[in-house]
Chain A
Amino acid sequence: MILGLAVIAGVLAGLFFARWNKETWQPPALRHIWLVVVFFLPQLFAFYLPATQNLFPAPLAAASLVISQLGLLTFCILNWRRAGISILTIGLLLNFVVILANGGWMPISPETVAQLVTPDAALHLEPGKRLGASKDILLAADAIVFPWLADRFAPPDWIPYRFAFSVGDIFIGAGAFILLAFPKQNTAFLQKESTHHANQSNF
């Protein structure tokens, strides 16, 4: 949800800048887009589709997350030099490392959960178990490997929408925003790259 807002903000900013420069908005020039579609599917079924998200046993859901993120990481590396993707890749790598180190799940501590739900709801949560249908697992703070990369940040109390996020999520949101708000930089890079290849083939 919160990362979806980064995408919407990026699209709106991209449209604004395009109109400001009296140009049409160009989509970011990305390669191997099929990797995103194919490797998002395991997560779509394991975490996002209400009809299927509870059908996945925990080990299969964790494996889906790791395999999916590995595929998405491959896509990011192949598009590394596009504006925004490099920042997004750093975020994905940070999330991937902490997820891999904690058994295929994004860890979250009871202290962070207490900032998201009522004390009554927090009492019913068991350590070591997946939180609802999310990618998170509840672990005691001292049991988390790489705690600084875990979901440990929450918005200020005056924001009614409660969520927790990681350092990696900040990079991912920022990368997506830049990718969509300044897509022309990607197109310019691709043209430069094509010219470079054409020049190389002439020699």
Chain B
Amino acid sequence: MKNLTAHLASAVSKIQKQHVQFVLAALVVLMLVLGAGAPVDGGGIGH
């Protein structure tokens, strides 16, 4: 039981770390791309 709990905790922490890394990387690249690019959206013109 103790082993199972430890295993589960380890798995959860691993998944969480991967998720956080994933979200952070996507967010940084998104900021970089939005900051570097300058396309204009037709819907935003005139507003």
Decide if A128 is an interface residue (CB 8 Å cutoff): no
How far is it, in angstroms, between the C-alpha of A100 and the C-alpha of B37 when the chains are bound?
14
With contacts A91-B36, A169-B38 taken as known, whether A132 is within 8 angstroms of B25 at the C-beta atoms is no
Chain A residues with CB below 8 A from B43, complex form: 162
Judging by beta carbons under 8 Å apart, are A7 and B33 in contact?
yes
Q: Main SS of the interface on chain A?
A: helix
Chain B residues with CB below 8 A from A27, complex form: 21-22, 24-25
The listed residue with most A CB atoms (<10 A of its CB), out of B31, B33, B41, B46, is B33
Complex interface: stretch among A116-124, A140-148, A190-198: A116-124
Provide 23 A-B residue pairs closer than 8 Å at the C-beta atoms, listed in order of the A residue. Answer: A2-B41, A3-B33, A24-B18, A28-B29, A40-B35, A43-B35, A69-B36, A88-B32, A106-B38, A106-B40, A121-B45, A125-B46, A132-B44, A135-B38, A136-B38, A136-B40, A161-B42, A163-B39, A163-B40, A165-B37, A168-B37, A168-B38, A179-B29
Q: Besides A30-B28, A76-B36, A133-B47, 8 other CB < 8 A contacts?
A: A1-B41, A2-B39, A69-B35, A91-B37, A99-B38, A116-B42, A132-B46, A166-B39
